[in-house]
Amino acid sequence: DQQVKQNSPSLSVQEGRISILNCDYTNSMFDYFLWYKKYPAEGPTFLISISSIKDKNEDGRFTVFLNKSAKHLSLHIVPSQPGDSAVYFCAASPQDNAGNMLTFGGGTRLMVKP
């Protein structure tokens, strides 16, 4: 039972355009969500998070949107850069407590073409 799903295994975008990565969840107890980026042979690095009391959080080129009623979140990267090419994971936690168990989606491989 996948509680966090990233339905697109890969996404290809032209440099300078917007990248939109999507994530769906099923567990209503999740109320803290995070996005991580992973390069090959490295551990995931934190990108941005959002609490369920918000519907949007922005950090530079990265914006995360949360739609609680649809149990859906998305990560927007604008403008996309070749260095953004990596695997992106969304993760969820039942409370604002990322040190506890995180449930990860399967990841989306983003390729930004120059």
Q: Which amino acid, one-letter code, is at 8?
A: S
Tokens 């998070």 correspond to: 49
CB of 105 to other proteins, least distance (A): 7
Q: Which is nearer to other proteins, 25 or 89 (CB)?
A: 89
Out of 31, 105, 110, 112, the only residue in the binding site for other proteins (CB under 8 A) is 105
Beta strands in the chain (DSSP E): 4-5, 10-14, 19-25, 32-38, 45-51, 56-59, 62-67, 72-77, 86-93, 103-104, 108-113
CB of 15 to other proteins, least distance (A): 27
Alpha-carbon distance 9 to 27, whole Å? 21
Site size toward other proteins (CB under 8 A) is: 23
Contact track, other proteins, 10-49, x by CB under 8 A: ------------------------x-x----xxxxxx--x
Closest among 64, 77, 73, 62 to 112, alpha carbons compared: 77
CB atoms within 10 A of CB 4: 22
Q: Which is nearer to other proteins, 30 or 89 (CB)?
A: 89
Out of 15, 106, 109, 111, the only residue in the binding site for other proteins (CB under 8 A) is 106
> Site residues (CB under 8 A) for other proteins?
34, 36, 41-46, 49, 89, 91, 96-107
